[in-house]
Chains A and B, each alone.
Chain A
Amino acid sequence: MKPFDYRRAESPSDATDAGARIIAGGTNLLDLMKLEIERPDTLIDINRLDLKAIEETEEGGLRIGALVTNSDCAADPRIRRDYGVLARAILAGASGQLRNKATTGGNLCQRTRCGYFYDTAMPCNKRDPGSGCQAKDGFNRIHAVLGASEACIATYPGDMAVAMTALDATVEIESKGGETRIVPVADFHRLPGDTPERDNVLDPGDLITAVTLPPPPGGVHLYRKVRDRASYAFALVSVAAVVTIADGRFERVALAFGGLAHKPWRDPRVEELLTGEEPGPALFDEAAEMLLADAEGHGHNDFKIPLAWRTLRAVLTEASERGDTA
């Protein structure tokens, strides 16, 4: 690890004005600092800031402080009751130990990455802009099939943000000087384009202060994660679904996908296609076909396209069965 200065933030402005790298749980940042992939000169520890509460909003939703740990978020009775998809997605991620440390803000900002990003002997446009992408013609089993670019085909590995995307959650960001802006989680992460070194829309000095959930959407909440082992592994494909069924038809459908792209993937056209229709295998196939029409494999990851197809079909089947009795 490269030497750094360590400081503690006593107020949000200490964090935004320090020109330093924020550390929260440290589970992603220290992992990368040990390999000198991340090399901050100064770390600002935000753990003493007052961002640890989950509060009800005037609109009837919940505001989750940036330092609420993944464990506390998934254990919160209101999240479990009204936002099951989020509790399930968090519980699908990492391990009990990591979730006790991982924070809401840090989890959102965990690097979009791949094995070559970790291997400093290899070219990687994300780690070292302009050096090339080793994954394109290398081992690319876990890589993206949607929204990738010439420069980078990595996938966003997180689970929590996939559920937050399906829930229409928003991120609250405080910048240098104290200004605050609100960004939908769906727009927080970026596609790689020509600048894969930027995973998300944060500028240096930006501090995430909270994530806000809109009022409870009701309906059936599902998070299905398909991976190489049953637990403690990143998603090959994941689907977050919040689905309401009335009179035998889809009344409201929100779907977000992990493991497919450089960011949590949402396709409003697919949701429109399903809304108002009677659930059934032919409709599910039509939805999957629309979702994956532009999907492109790179060899080892070709299997993700049929896997995403089948996972979506399975989730819609389960949602319609449960929705009918709900």
Chain B
Amino acid sequence: METRLSINGDTHMLDADPRTTLLDALRNHLGLTGSKKGCDHGQCGACTVLIDGRRINSCLTLACMHDGQEITTIEGLGEPGNLSPLQAAFVRHDGYQCGYCTPGQICSATAMLKEAEQGWPSYVSDDLDGAPALDGEEISERMSGNLCRCGAYSNIVDAITQVVGERA
């Protein structure tokens, strides 16, 4: 079936079986291999992309369900020479070892910062109405959908903390 996908500002016509997940469409049909497949079951976050600015697991959704929506992948956030603030902070703080989880971590963190700016609370927020301060505990909780087999968590939190500081 035909689906019109708008990815990183470009329009792509996808003609694929309805079974095609958004992740497989990106990687296998459109050559956008930045988004990774870890578990294919919503458990690891390696496939995280943004849809209309919100983070989701691209492995647990069908490409045909996103006709006309704006999709942003790691390729759309920045590129060598023109890194996004989070991309640069991950490099600076060594927020990875093998790098496999990194595109998902960065896409997830990009949307997470926006959620916090909009005042969304998390499970560890003491107060449900206050503007949450993104300390280490808040960042870890909000990023818990992104696993890192290499265990680079402390540097990931440091990288995100730097960007939180730059925005304050």
Contact = CB atoms under 8 A, between A and B. Distances in A.
Interface stretch (B37-45, B71-79, B83-91, B157-165): B37-45
B61 A26 contact: yes
Nearest to A33: B19
Contact of B61 (A30, A43, A95): A30
B60 interface: yes
A101 B17 contact: no
**What secondary structure prevails in chain B residues at the interface with A?**
loop
Contact of A30 (B1, B48, B60, B111): B60
Given A3-B17, A101-B60, A26 B45 contact: no
Interface string A96-110: 111011000000000
Contacts of B128: 80-81, 84, 87-88
Interface in A67-87: 71, 74-75, 77, 80-81, 84, 87
A97 B56 contact: yes
A57 interface: no
Given A6-B62, A71-B120, A96 B108 contact: yes
Contacts of B45: 95, 97
A47 B67 CA distance: 11
Given A31-B42, A75-B120, A95-B144, A101 B61 contact: yes
Contacts of B40: 34
Interface string A14-33: 00000000010111001100
A231 B123 CA distance: 9
Contact of A97 (B19, B108, B119, B123): B108
Contacts of A96: 55, 108, 111-112, 115, 142-145
B27 interface: no
Given A3-B19, A97-B108, A88 B144 contact: no
Nearest to A7: B18
A91 B21 contact: no
B57 interface: yes
Contacts of B18: 4-6, 43
A221 B88 CA distance: 41
Contacts of A80: 121, 128-129
A94 interface: yes
B42 A71 contact: no
B54 interface: yes
A4 B145 contact: no
Among B111, B142, B144, find the residue whose CB has the most chain A CB atoms closer than 10 A. Answer: B144
Contacts of A231: 123, 140-141, 144
A45 interface: yes
Contacts of B144: 95-96, 230-232
A94 B145 contact: yes
Contacts of A232: 144-145
B122 interface: yes
Contacts of A3: 17, 19
Nearest to B18: A6
Given A3-B19, A81-B129, A26 B62 contact: yes
Given A25-B61, A97-B56, 8 more contacts: A75-B121, A88-B128, A96-B145, A97-B145, A230-B141, A231-B123, A231-B141, A231-B144
20 contacts: A6-B62, A23-B65, A27-B57, A30-B21, A30-B60, A30-B61, A31-B60, A74-B121, A75-B119, A75-B121, A80-B121, A95-B45, A95-B144, A96-B111, A96-B112, A97-B45, A97-B56, A97-B108, A101-B60, A101-B61
Q: Please give me the 4 A-B residue pairs with the lowest Cβ-Cβ distance, nearest first.
A: A95-B145, A231-B144, A6-B18, A232-B144
